[in-house]
Amino acid sequence: HPERTKRTLPDLMTAGTPLVMVTAYDYPGGKIAEGAGVDLILVGDSLGNVVLGYDSTAPVTLSDMIHHGKAVRRGAPNTFLVVDLPFGTYHTGVSDAMRSAVRVVQETGADAVKMEGSTPEVLEVVRVLARNGIPVMGHVGLMPQTAVAQGGLRVQGKDDDSARRTLEGALALADAGAFSVVLEAIPARLAKLITERLPVPTIGIGAGVHCDGQVLVAHDLLGIYEGEDKKIAKRYAELGRQAREAIEAYAQEVRTRAFPTKGNGFVMKDDVLDKLY
């Protein structure tokens, strides 16, 4: 790949082709995503599930996000980087939210932050951050941070009440200054309607083909976890199986002394060795 120039915010917001976003959580993840030429990288708080082994995103802290966000940025210095604000770091008032976002931007070099929901409290946070020069990506539909209150990890917007709430939430986020909104796990027709109505790009995951862009969790598309099949994702590789097979091959070669070979090692002069005997 030739050195690419990082996409600017106005450029992303008016791009004619579907935007490509993928998650990354560390230096190699960032490096690979940037090498692949994606438009945006998300350091998602899905970190909690796919990297830290929690069963939800709720335990993920701001320090976790900063630690991983910094590593991703070192691997992807030239890609538009969005970092999730984790649960609890933007819920205790506008000044706390501002402090969280400033830390993320200053310490990771992120271009933008993302947060879930469209409550009046979140909308106020989006307004203040946007007004103070911190680009915010919104996130409606299925919101993993508060999935317990949503009745579990399930598709949203199927009945008219939920559909209206999702549409109005997305519109309110754009109105508050969000530069883009993630639509997660909603019917494709609802996502199409929202995409038509919204003045800013929608990024879908489990939201059909009509969104302005798509996002996937890298571990899902790379097939890191064997046997796991997510309806909203597509496995473009089987890296989990390949990695296990590689370690099995290594184990077998160690046990049969096929590895290491001479070529993996170092030599010394005979006379030096003779003195040791």
Which residues are part of a known binding site for 3-methyl-2-oxobutanoate?
45-46, 84, 114
Asked whether position 84 contacts ligand KIV by CB under 6 A, the answer is yes
**Footprint of ligand KIV on residues 128-187 (CB under 6 A)?**
182, 184
Side-chain half-sphere of 153: how many Cα atoms within 13 Å? Answer: 9
- Three-state DSSP at 75 gives helix
Closest distance of CB 276 from ligand KIV, Å: 56
**Footprint of ligand KIV on residues 4-43 (CB under 6 A)?**
23, 42
Closest distance of CB 109 from ligand KIV, Å: 19
- Three-state DSSP at 245 gives helix
Q: Give the range of 29-37, 79-87, 127-135, 156-164 binding Na ion by CB under 5 A.
A: 79-87
Picked from Na ion, ligand KIV, none, the partner binding residue 170 (CB below 5 to 8 A depending on kind) is: none
Asked whether position 220 contacts ligand KIV by CB under 6 A, the answer is no
- Quick one: 152 exposed, middle or buried, by C-beta within 10 A (0-12, 13-18, 19+)? exposed
Closest distance of CB 176 from Na ion, Å: 19
Catalytic residue among 124, 184, 196, 238: 184
Asked whether position 45 contacts ligand KIV by CB under 6 A, the answer is yes
Q: How far is CA 157 from the centre of its chain?
A: 23
* Closest-CA residue to 130 (of 88, 176, 93): 176
Rounded to 5°, the CA angle 139-136-50 comes to 50
Given 7, 12, 39, 44, the residue binding ligand KIV (CB under 6 A): 44
Q: Which two tokens stand for residue 178?
A: 């969000």
Picked from Na ion, ligand KIV, none, the partner binding residue 66 (CB below 5 to 8 A depending on kind) is: none
Tell me the H-state helices in 6-149: 9-13, 27-35, 47-50, 62-75, 94-108, 120-131
Picked from ligand KIV, Na ion, none, the partner binding residue 135 (CB below 5 to 8 A depending on kind) is: none
Picked from ligand KIV, Na ion, none, the partner binding residue 23 (CB below 5 to 8 A depending on kind) is: ligand KIV
Which residue is at the shortest CB distance from ligand KIV? 44
Q: If you ran DSSP here, which 8-state letter would residue 146 be given?
A: G
Residue 133: how many other CB atoms lie within 10 Å: 7
Task: Indicate if 34 belongs to the active site.
Answer: no
Asked whether position 113 contacts ligand KIV by CB under 6 A, the answer is no
Q: Are 41 and 24 in contact (CB under 8 A)?
A: yes
Q: Which two tokens stand for residue 263?
A: 């070529």
Q: What is the set of active-site residues? A: 184
Residues in contact with ligand KIV by the rule CB under 6 A = 23, 42, 44-46, 84, 182, 184, 205, 215, 217
